[in-house]
Amino acid sequence: MSTDSPAPRHIPVMLERCLDALAPAISTPGAVVVDATLGLGGHSEALLTRFPDVRLIAVDRDPRALELSAERLARFGDRATLVHAVYDEIPRVLDELDVPEVHGVLFDLGVSSMQLDEADRGFAYSQDAPLDMRMDQTRGISAAEVLNTYGHGDLARILKVYGEERFAGKIASAVLREREREPFTNSARLVELVRNAIPAATRRTGGNPAKRTFQALRIEVNGELEVLDRAIPGALDALAVGGRIVVMSYQSLEDRLVKQYFQAGATSTAPPGLPVIPEELQPWLKLLTRGAELATEEEIEENRRAAPVRLRVAERIRRTRR
């Protein structure tokens, strides 16, 4: 999730495209929009500014992000409600706020600019820092604990599945060997271990060889795919007819999961040749993007964190859901 911050170099990813995609659903008085990944509030601020009648409900699992966003969005008063929660908890949040349905939902997945830029969070492989990687540092286990306690099979699995790392087994073996000598605490040592475990020919291409390992650890520590697997259907259930959902993914595992839910909702489940299709078997989602949209070259030049983004938009077209 790439977000805005007080520093001008932090630009919300595909901001205008997100606003334009949501506009038909949230331009009417009384519309409610959920920012499922508040971060530093760049997208939320733009939504509240462009749509003066909209009510915003924004969630984030990171207490520090909520604190900074509260300052940024304070001028909007009670139009903005910020909640400390993970985005799979959106149904509970809406229920507690007595909001039966919403008209727009925005997901900007992955790690935020703030989390990448704050060295002590341990998300960035480009600078030495404690191996934490928790988006909510008040709960859960750190990346260091994963490295120091997981068995070879579990380590290799998360590196292969979550990092799509070809050399997962070799890296896992090196981790187990090195932690016997000294437990892992900081990122620089892990970066060096990965570099040494990967063949030289592979190191020469594809950027920093530790990128996939760091991605895998972050996903494991924060349970990102399991949370997303609950969050997308929960958000879709909350959408009013005519409501729209926008999801920006930054790696293929996320995008594949979003695509599966969107396509399932946009596909009839009626048997072939049925002369009349009952409403409960008809599609209840309409896909508004052909495949996944990418950031433009101009935006990538302005904001390098937009390079991997994959954006999908869908609209709820009927109440019935299978």
Pick the CATH number of 120-221 from 3.40.50.150, 1.10.20.140, 3.10.20.740, 1.10.150.170: 1.10.150.170
* Residue 108 marked ligand-binding: yes
Q: Which backbone phi and psi does 141 adopt, to 5 degrees? A: -100, 150
* Residue 88 marked ligand-binding: no
Question: Quick one: pLDDT at residue 123?
Answer: 61
Mean pLDDT, to the nearest integer, of 1-14?
56
Residue 91 contacts by C-beta under 8 Å, 6 or more apart in sequence?
Answer: 234, 237, 238
Is residue 120 predicted with pLDDT exceeding 60? Answer: no
Where does the chain hold its CATH 1.10.150.170 domain(s)? 120-221
What tens digit of pLDDT does each residue of 86-100 get? 999 999 999 999 999
Residue 17 contacts by C-beta under 8 Å, 6 or more apart in sequence?
Answer: 293, 311
The rounded distance, in Å, linking the Cα atoms of 83 and 75 is 17
Q: What string of DSSP letters covers 100-145? A: --EEEEEEE-S--HHHHH-GGG---TTS--BS---SSTTSS--HHH
Question: Quick one: pLDDT at residue 268?
Answer: 83
Question: Across all residues in the chain, what is the average pLDDT?
Answer: 90
Where does the chain hold its CATH 3.40.50.150 domain(s)? 15-114+224-316
Lowest mean pLDDT of 147-151, 163-167, 269-273, 300-304, name the range.
269-273
CA-CA-CA-CA torsion sign (134, 139, 12, 26): positive
Question: Quick one: pLDDT at residue 181?
Answer: 96
* Residue 152 marked ligand-binding: no
Residue 80 contacts by C-beta under 8 Å, 6 or more apart in sequence?
Answer: 44, 48, 55, 56, 58, 73
Q: In 10 A of CB 223, how many CB atoms?
A: 15
Greater pLDDT, 7 or 264:
264
Q: Which backbone phi and psi does 35 adopt, to 5 degrees? A: -95, 105
Question: Quick one: pLDDT at residue 272?
Answer: 81
* Residue 255 marked ligand-binding: no
What tens digit of pLDDT does each residue of 68-81 get? 999 999 999 999 99
- The confidence band for 197, taking pLDDT boundaries of 50, 70 and 90, is very high
- The confidence band for 3, taking pLDDT boundaries of 50, 70 and 90, is very low
* Residue 42 marked ligand-binding: yes
User: Is CATH 3.40.50.150 what the domain over 15-114+224-316 is classified as, yes or no?
Assistant: yes
Mean pLDDT, to the nearest integer, of 304-319?
94
* Residue 60 marked ligand-binding: yes
Question: Quick one: pLDDT at residue 97?
Answer: 98
Question: Which residue type is seen at 76?
Answer: F
Question: Quick one: pLDDT at residue 117?
Answer: 52
Greater pLDDT, 136 or 270:
136
Is residue 322 predicted with pLDDT exceeding 50? Answer: no
* Residue 41 marked ligand-binding: yes
Cα 252 from chain centroid (whole Å): 12
Q: Which of helix, strand or coil describes residue 26? A: helix
